Amino acid sequence: MKKLLLLFIFFCSCTDSNLNHITPLGAHSLVFHDQGFIIDVRADSKYLEVPDKAYVISERDIVNNNPRWIKIYSENKNKRLILCCGEKEEFSTLLPYINKNQLKVFYLTDLEDWKEKGLHVDAPRKLAEE
């Protein structure tokens, strides 16, 4: 649920009081604090200007320091395709709040499933080099 919650917060406006833990870091980044997790979102300006470029999102478990990398593909300025790992049931409580005109959600169970569908997943080292 936290994975989609991150995406939901970043791309949708919502008045839910549970989303008050957002801390802006800059024009294209934020940190969301929730029960021991720091979620760091960054989008380079080139990704905002070029529709076929992707936003790269990382979610890091502070305790285990275990990063998971997620790509958000911008179809145009008003609609984005969200790719997130996890079972659909995990996100069912948030689905009613998602504006279907702004978001599409595509569920993948793990990174191997991404590769089988021909999706590229950035490694932390590659991201650091950029």
Top-confidence residue, 102 or 88: 88
Q: First vs last Cα of the chain: how many Å apart?
A: 29
pLDDT in tens, 36-59: 333 333 344 443 443 333 444 444
**Per-residue CA distances from 63 to 23, 25, 68, 95 (Å):** 20, 22, 14, 28
pLDDT in tens, 1-20: 444 444 444 443 332 333 33
Instruction: Grade residue 93 by pLDDT with cuts at 50, 70 and 90.
Output: low
All structural domains of the chain with their residue ranges: 2-129
pLDDT in tens, 56-84: 444 444 344 444 434 444 444 444 444 44
The helix (H) or strand (E) run that includes residue 48 is helix 45-49
Total-model pTM: 0.26
**Per-residue CA distances from 72 to 20, 36, 64, 109, 123 (Å):** 23, 24, 24, 16, 15
Average pLDDT along the chain: 42
